[in-house]
Amino acid sequence: MKINYDELDKINKKIKNYPKSSLLIVTKNRPQNLVKSLMDKGYLLFGENKVQEAESKYYNLINYKNLKLHLIGPLQTNKVKTALSLFDTIQTIDRPKLIKVISKQSKLNKNLKTKNYFIQVNIGEESQKSGIVPSETKNLCELALSENLNVTGLMCIPPISHNPSIYFKKMNELRQSIDPTFKISMGMSNDYETALINHSDLIRIGSRIFL
Domain count for the chain, please give it.
Answer: 1
User: How many CB atoms neighbour CB 143 within 10 A?
Assistant: 18
Mean pLDDT of 113-127: 96
Question: From start to end of the chain, where are the E strands?
Answer: 22-26, 45-48, 68-71, 89-93, 116-121, 151-156, 183-185, 202-205
| Residue 159 forms part of a structural domain | yes
Over residues 139-198, the pLDDT tens digits come to: 999 999 999 999 999 999 999 888 999 999 999 999 999 999 999 999 999 999 999 999
CATH code, domain carrying 59: 3.20.20.10
Mean pLDDT score of the chain, rounded to an integer? 96
- Buried/exposed code over 184-201 (b: 16+ C-beta within 10 A; e: otherwise): bbbbbeebbebbbebbbb
| Residue 211 forms part of a structural domain | no
pTM of the predicted model as reported, rounded to 2 decimal places = 0.96
The answer to whether 66 and 110 have CB atoms below 8 angstroms apart is no
| Residue 210 forms part of a structural domain | no
User: How many CB atoms neighbour CB 74 within 10 A?
Assistant: 16
| Residue 33 forms part of a structural domain | yes
User: What is the span of the domain harbouring residue 162?
Assistant: 5-12+21-205
Say how far residue 48 (Cα) sits from the centre of its chain.
8
